[in-house]
Structure 1
């Protein structure tokens, strides 16, 4: 379930409310996030705050659903709704943001990380891959060293480390993020819209070629990916062979 509230100077707060699964993302919840962002813009909100219920921002993809059809479509539709919204979107990262949770957080324009927040993109542990946009976004926010640490080393960054590397903009609570959203909601809307659009267009050109797309699809269609699913069902470590 996704809850949406409008408060203060017309900023919307979207809460991923699936705490019994640490806000793991499936197709239905991703579709709701995209719809909630679009509805917030349509309602006249001047900023959007996204957070999670309970102690997690999002534990990432619901692995019971990531193997099914439509997950990638839903994930990238949610990311696209956030990045193309004509108003600032702030992530209140109230706890772990893992995999797709990190992708959702970096899609937002600003991130306020609670002291308990952690970021990780452990795709190499389960035979998956993130799209070129995610790699480019990570690199733009936190640099090549952090991108390599997350994707090649499968490192986990705590809030302080994420802040020092530029992955988090501020350390603070959800309430601190609300104060920021409230302040941003008082700024000039046309100026904010221009700046957000200009930043996206000038710093994140779609410069990758078909080779990346081909390798990305190979990961998702590989025997290693299938092995990770079998290993999870059998409660064992996967045995990857590179096929």
Structure 2
């Protein structure tokens, strides 16, 4: 079936039925970390999907068994701070497109959802994960400042005390622990994940579409995520050295995992 949208990596759209859109991110390298162009494409794609009144639900997943490890940090190596700030602005615009999409967006999480990948999952309406997946925000060690928008998404799900612990420590939670903390909605074995997500999508699609859209709008209004407050996205004193150190360590041990 034709998608009605352009399928261009690192964002691919598939429409298995008239009501559901499957949105796959990443190109299967660097654990599906996205560069600036990737975040832009994701934003524009979600906006186009949201404008199609025949779509009733969206499932967002990563390619080849990994959700998204965040942003491609190789773009930040030796970059000026204006370029880094621009990267964060583009990723935040993608998260907000997901939040503002008038139809439910369900995150199907395998592998890892870390840093910006975690924020992408939190921007979705619901999160189903495999028990073996890991999710969290290990950004403080890199001199990345936690924005009010980043914090608000986590606080809305787990409360301020748990959010502080997860943000201060950068802890990555497995699927079962993420459910216990309230960060995700359900954790199942990897082999069952697609089936359980499909069941959720079917339940949503079976409801009156106007009522579902109204419910999403009502929750969004209630949450009222604060806009960015102008604080720089990164600490210019520690960020450049931290990025070089992180990428250097990854190059030595696991050259494909250069993302956060």
Same fold (TM over 0.5): yes
Distance across 2 between alignment mates of 1:166 and 1:108: 14
- Find out whether 1:14 has 2:30 as its counterpart: no
Does residue 110 of structure 1 match 2:126? yes
Higher relative contact order (CA 8 A, sep 6+): 2
Q: 1:131 to 1:66 in 2, by over 3 A?
A: farther
Shift of 1:9: 5.1
| Structure 2 counterpart of 1:189 | 209
CA distance in structure 1 between the aligned counterparts of 2:22 and 2:40, rounded to whole angstroms: 16
What per-residue deviation string (whole Å, max 9, x for no partner) do you get for residues 164-214 of structure 1? 1111111231332122123212211221111111111112353x8xxx835
Identify the match of residue 231 of structure 1 among 234, 241, 245.
245
Alignment of 1:91-170 (within 5 A): 91-170=107-186
Equivalent pair of 2:158/2:183 in contact (CA under 8 Å):
yes
Structure 1 residue 50 corresponds to structure 2 residue 44: no
1:134 CA drift (Å): 1.7
Q: Distance in 2 between matches of 1:235 and 1:94?
A: 24
Which one of 65, 69, 88 corresponds to residue 59 of structure 1?
Answer: 69
SS class of match (1:7): coil
Residue 24 of structure 1 aligns with which residue? 33
Name structure 2 gaps, 5 residues minimum: 1-8, 251-260
Q: CA deviation at 1:42?
A: 3.0
Aligned match of 2:197? 177
The more displaced of 63-72 and 82-91 is: 63-72
Contact 1:162-1:168 at 8 Å conserved across structures: yes
Alignment counterpart, residue 41 of structure 1, candidates 50, 67, 70: 50
Shift of 1:63: 0.6
- CA root-mean-square deviation: 2.0
* Residue in structure 1 matched with residue 234 of structure 2 by the alignment: 220
Find the counterpart in structure 1 of residue 257 from structure 2. Answer: none
How many residue pairs were aligned?
230
1:240 corresponding residue in structure 2: none
Q: In structure 2, the residue corresponding to 1:133 is in which secondary structure? A: helix
CA change 1:233–1:37 in 2 (3 A) is: closer
**Where in structure 1 are there 5+ consecutive unaligned residues?**
237-243
- Relative distance call for 1:66 and 1:48 in structure 2 (3 A) is farther
> Distance between the aligned counterparts of 1:180 and 1:141, measured in 2?
19
Cα contact 1:56–1:95 (8 A) shared by 2: yes
